[in-house]
Amino acid sequence: MGRVVTLFTGQWADIEFEEMCILAKKMGYDGLEIATWGNHLDIDKAYSDSQYVEWMLETLKKNDLVCKAIGTHIIGQCVGDGPDPRLDGFAPVKYAGKPEEIREWAIDQMKKVAVVARRMDVDVVTGFVGSPIWKYLYSFPQTTEEMVEAGFDEIVTLWAPILEVFKENGIKFALEVHPGEIAFDYYTTEKLLKKFENHENFGLNFDPSHLYWQGVSPHIFLSDFRDRVYHVHMKDVAVTLDGKAGILGSHIDFGSLRRGWNFRSLGHGHVNFEEIIRVLNDMNYSGPLSVEWEDSGMDRIAGATEASAFVRKADFQPSNVKFDEAMANK
């Protein structure tokens, strides 16, 4: 029996939750990583209305599905980002153009989701934390070490009270290391974990796709941070540099063949999932393998159906015998 295969609903939040459950089961999934936007999990309603939570759980059960994680990516982004007009699309309309109120709303939502997760018997919340210094990525105009340190410290200050609520409720927060976050690659992840003093409720949502196109080896990252990996995304990407496209994307929309890289449906990109599974086996990871399906060049139902089968095939079990034991002289 392999690991539970789930589908992250973030890219499917236009579909009503009950219909999403029916579709996910039809596509071959065991469960969902439920997004907290669109037509899926309403945090305020779940926080104040026990009947709503019961309905969510009953709907999952009726479709023979489980929920192993709750996704809070767009909310968490609003906690740690600097003022950014793009956040208006993530927060309620009444907060548009009010960055401080957006942040207050997001902090309140993140505290509430820890309580909601406990009520739904979910142990992990995935998401982003934002970054007040992402605009300093290229370091020109010159970026001082003090500016970088201040950015990391600001994230810790903003998230420490949230993590206390997570701790009170026995919930782990798993940051998806991702461009646009304070931790976006190997060394920034290492730095952030140290800043949080390895807080037991703060860990990682491992997603190989965001690492691969940056040139970071996903399986090495996974192995080195194994003690902090609380959740795993299965997501593929293809790097197709052709001498024209740059690795930074050229401000060209995802899916365009002019880009130097694109997210691909599982098995259609360049990520080596065998090496990842071998590390997961070595670290005794027993959590879900959650498909985050993103491929602008493929029908999503066909792609996600194929992806669930791909994960099951890729997820081989470790051996319980040494292959050369039979040759030993007893």
Q: How high is the pLDDT of residue 222?
A: 98
In the chain, what percentage of residues exceed pLDDT 70? 98
Burial 100-126 (b: 16+ CB within 10 A, else e): eebbebbbebbbbbbbbbeebebbbbb
Rounded to an integer, the average pLDDT of 180-204 is 97
Q: pLDDT-derived band of residue 326, with 50, 70 and 90 as boundaries? A: low
- Look at the chain and count its residues: 330
d(Cα 188, Cα 198) in Å, to the nearest integer?
Answer: 14
Q: How high is the pLDDT of residue 176?
A: 98
DSSP bridge partners of 263: 237
* pLDDT tens-digit readout, 277-318: 999 999 999 999 999 999 999 999 999 999 999 999 999 988
Q: pLDDT-derived band of residue 80, with 50, 70 and 90 as boundaries? A: very high
Instruction: List C-alpha distances in Å: 271 to 20, 234, 264, 319.
Output: 28, 10, 10, 23
Q: pLDDT-derived band of residue 319, with 50, 70 and 90 as boundaries? A: confident
203 exposed, middle or buried (CB, 10 Å; 0-12, 13-18, 19+)? buried
Q: How high is the pLDDT of residue 321?
A: 77
Whether the predicted pLDDT of 324 surpasses 70: no
Whether the predicted pLDDT of 1 surpasses 90: no
* pLDDT tens-digit readout, 198-240: 999 999 999 999 999 999 999 999 999 999 999 999 999 999 9
Whether the predicted pLDDT of 329 surpasses 70: no
5-327 CATH: 3.20.20.150
CB 228 within 8 A of CB 173: no
* pLDDT tens-digit readout, 105-161: 999 999 999 999 999 999 999 999 999 999 999 999 999 999 999 999 999 999 999
Q: How high is the pLDDT of residue 320?
A: 82
3-state helix vs strand vs coil in the chain, percent to 5: 45, 15, 40
H/E stretch holding 304 reads: helix 300-314
Whether the predicted pLDDT of 330 surpasses 90: no
CB 265 within 8 A of CB 302: no
Rounded to an integer, the average pLDDT of 81-86 is 94
Beta strands at 31-35 and 5-8: parallel, antiparallel or unpaired: parallel
The mean pLDDT of the chain is 96
Where are the chain's structural domains? 5-327
Helix-then-strand count for the chain, H and E? 11, 10
Whether the predicted pLDDT of 323 surpasses 90: no
CB 203 within 8 A of CB 230: yes
d(Cα 200, Cα 225) in Å, to the nearest integer?
Answer: 13
